[in-house]
Each structure stands twice: as C-alpha cells, then as structure tokens.
Amino acid sequence: MLRITSGLAVFAVVIAIGWVLGRTSALPPRSDRVLTRLAFFAATPALMVTTLAGADLGAVVSARALAAIIAEILTITSAWSLHRWVLGRDTASALIGALASGYVNAANLGIPVAILVVGDATPIAPILLLQLLIITPVSFAILDIVTGRRCQTPARRALAPLRNPLLIGVATGTAINLADWDLADIAGGTPAEVLGLLGRMAVPLMMLALGLSLADSRRAPRGGLVGEAPPPAGPALWWAVGWKLLVSPVLVLAVGALLGLRGAALLVPVTTACLPTAQNIFMYASRYERATGLARDTVLITTAGFAPVVLLAAALLG
C-alpha cells in the first residue's frame, strides 16, 4: 500500500510538472501530442520488447489476465446496453458511450501503473492485444456501418492493427522470449542498450504528456479542439464515469473470484479495471462525430478520479 501510494505521488508530481509546463507556455500548445507520438512510436514499443523478452510468459496467459479481459468485455457490452436501451442513444453514440465506460488507458497509464503495482509491464500485454486486435477493429467496423462513413477500406482496417507499434513491440518481445534469445548477446548487446534507453523514456514521457494534455484542455475551447464545441453530455456522462470507475472494478472482482483469485492476486486485474478511459476514445468520437462531449469529459474525469479508486483497491486487496 505504501509503495503504491508513494508511486502514485511520484506520478502526480511528474504530471504536475507537465501541467505547469503547459500552463506557463514553456512548451507550445499541443506539445503533448509530440510526446505521446514519441512514446507511441518509439519508447513504449521498446519497453514492451525488453519487458516481454525477459518475462515469465505465464503472466500473460494467467487467470489474472483472463479476469481482466473478461471484465473489460463485460463492462463494454453492458455499458452499450445501458446507453442504447436505457438512455435511448443511437447505436453509434451508445458505442462511443460504451467505449468511454470500459476501454482502459492501457498504454499511457496501464504500463506505468502495472510497473508500479507488480514491477513490470507484462500483465498489461493481454489487454493491449484485446484492444488492438479485437475491440478497436470491431468498433470501427460498426461505426463505419451505422454512420455511413468509410474512414478506411475493409482491407486497410483489417491490416491496421498489424502496423501498430505497440502490437509490433509485444509480438517482437514475445518472439524473442519464445526463441530463448538473450538481447544482451545479440550484436554485442547494442540492441539491448538502445531498446533499454528508449524504454526508460516511456513512463516519464507518458506522465508529462498527460500533464500537458490537462493544461491544454483548460486553454482550449469547451470542445477540447480549436473551433469545436460539442453539446453537453448530460446524464450519460455520469453513467459512463460511474461504469468506468465503479462498475468495472466490481465486475473484475466478481470474475476474478469465479476464477479462484483471492486477495493480492486480484490486485492487478482490479487495478487494470480502475484505469481511466483511454484518450483514443475522444479521437474515435471526433472522427465519427458522435458523443464527442461525453468522450472528452469521461477521459478527463476518470483520469482525475482513478487514483483514489486504485488506492482503495490496494488497501482492500494488497
């Protein structure tokens, strides 16, 4: 509990530094996008390679991973039913609401939080694979159909996950592990040093980018993007926030208990479920022009509110 509290305090300080850099204009607006792209295309894939290359792959296919996967699927599908049939939103808006309610920020926050809780990023790999290979492509296909927009051809949409740097990093690290190679023995250890150097940048880059994005959200117009002003999300916003921060952790507790997990063994999947909504969801909402206000505000509120939920989970299960 103390280790998690101390770790979250360190994260908070680094995020605050990013916020100050943004608010004081020490860095220009939208600098968070530069740092996020640097983390996405270089630092985080390198971290996934070095992590999985030397990891116990049993953690990737464990009951903890299965509990997290089942809980995320249940959270999203149950949230879609809520937004579609109870709140009466159209299919596309209900899907964005469901993603806002359950699609966790596995890359930007999941990786550093996993490192904080268990010491490495291996447990987050199954969620990344679920999101990259299944949830995102299926969501895009549904949104294409119901909105009448073809943002990608079916072939490009099918191949898109294979070009994702995070997926490439996961696949490469897993392949090295299965081949029983030691990165330190390849080319005199140079690849290991390069990947290690890039990977160590990942967590601070993510935290600084988050702080900068929060600063930009205060400087930008209400819509979060220049010239954009989505309508208020209304009650659907608070349902999405509640589903993300309360219902999702309860679901993973129930699933984990059914799988025989108890106490500290439940902490990793519960912590994963507590993660805030991924910023990608606002991008998807903007792309299809559906529920942009809900997506934007859910990202901001769950990002601000996930730490107390994680601390409560650590106190109960740690």
CB 199 within 8 A of CB 76: no
For residue 278, the number of C-alpha atoms closer than 13 Å in the C-beta half-sphere is 27
Token pair for 1: 């509990």
Tens of pLDDT, residue by residue over 137-179, are 899 889 988 887 666 666 666 676 677 888 899 889 989 999 9
pLDDT winner (highest mean) among 44-53, 57-66, 83-92: 83-92
CB 45 within 8 A of CB 169: yes
Q: At what angle do helices 190-219 and 44-53 cross, to 10 degrees?
A: 140
With H, G, I as helix, E, B as strand and everything else as coil, classify residue 104.
strand
Q: Which amino acid is at 100?
A: A
Tens of pLDDT, residue by residue over 257-276, are 999 998 888 988 999 999 99
With H, G, I as helix, E, B as strand and everything else as coil, classify residue 250.
helix
* DSSP H or E run through 191: helix 190-219
| pLDDT at site 226 | 38
Round to whole Å and give the CA distance between 73 and 52: 24
Tens of pLDDT, residue by residue over 9-31, are 888 898 899 999 999 999 988 88
Please report the DSSP string for 291-312 in residue order: SHHHHHHHHHHHHHHHHHHHHH
Q: How confident is the model at residue 188 (pLDDT cuts 50, 70, 90)?
A: confident
